Amino acid sequence: MPHEQVSIRTADGICPAHVVTPEGAGPWPAVIVYMDALGMRPALVQVADRLAANGYLALLPDLFYRSGDYHIPTPTEAFATGDLMAIIGPHMALTGPLKAAEDTRYLLEYLDTRDDVKGEAIGTVGFCMGGGMALAAAGSFPDRVVAAASYHGGNIASDKPDSPHLLAPKMKAEVYVAGADEDPSYPSEMAERMEKALTDAGVTHRAEIYPGAHHGWMKPDFPIYNKDAAERGWREMLALFKRNLG
């Protein structure tokens, strides 16, 4: 798929981003991909590639840009240290759902400059850390985000003031939330809180727990990658975007 690397100016600096498009002239509907906390790497670009192969312009921003020229080991190496948060925590501290929502304003402005983007309606999808960001974008830009998907999103219905579930009353998008049944960052009580928030707000949604899946199951470079569950997740994601973006 055609692939560009671009720089997008935000209120806090310059955010590098990948743009992957389908073959041909377009225009295509756009999807913003919100990264997990293991940093920008080929596995994330592969997500954008697969979206492009299915007819979407995929914008993948590096939301750790506030860290400058950072380095994170490969997921296998990072998990093997036994202290993952010591590696990723300093970078995560510089972003979050509401920070990412602020960045999304500039991402949308960038998309609006491209003549190969079809219309103003977009989709969002995020993984782990990015799951909450994708939902926060839907709540912050309800007139732009028509479909939002969160996969193994951690702490997306917490007691924190920036918890994404608090934005449910503002969402107009169709929302899909997929959690793992073996994920301490998304326990059953949190899943119930998310379900209630979306239901009470009248958001068209489906929230599911994937049996036998662990936090991060969608990523092929994670030690706990689950191919069957990942393919199920992709089917749901593409169906969501097809219903709402065409």
Quick: pLDDT tens for 97-129: 999 999 999 999 999 999 999 999 999 999 999
pLDDT at 194 over 90: yes
pTM above threshold 0.85 = yes
Q: pLDDT at position 82, please? A: 86
Does a cis peptide bond (omega within 30 degrees of 0) precede residue 27?
Answer: yes
pLDDT at 25 over 90: no
Instruction: Give phi and psi for 223, each to the nearest 5.
Output: -60, -25
Q: Contact 174/150 with Cβ under 8 angstroms?
A: no
Please name the helix (run of DSSP H) or strand (run of DSSP E) that holds residue 83, with its range, or none: none
**Interval 51-92: pLDDT, tens:** 999 999 999 999 999 999 999 999 999 989 989 899 999 999
Domain ranges of the chain: 3-245
Pseudo-torsion of CA 201, 204, 209, 215, nearest 10°? -80
User: What does DSSP assign to residue 81?
Assistant: T
pLDDT at 226 over 90: yes
CATH domain 3-245 topology: Rossmann fold (3.40.50)
Q: How far apart are CA 95 and CA 127, in angstroms?
A: 15
pLDDT at 140 over 90: yes
Q: pLDDT at position 84, please? A: 87
pLDDT at 246 over 90: no
Q: In the chain, what percentage of residues exceed pLDDT 90?
A: 93
| Per-residue exposure over 189-213, b if at least 16 CB sit within 10 Å of its own CB, e if not | ebbebbbebbeebebebebeebeeb
**Interval 41-53: pLDDT, tens:** 999 999 999 999 9
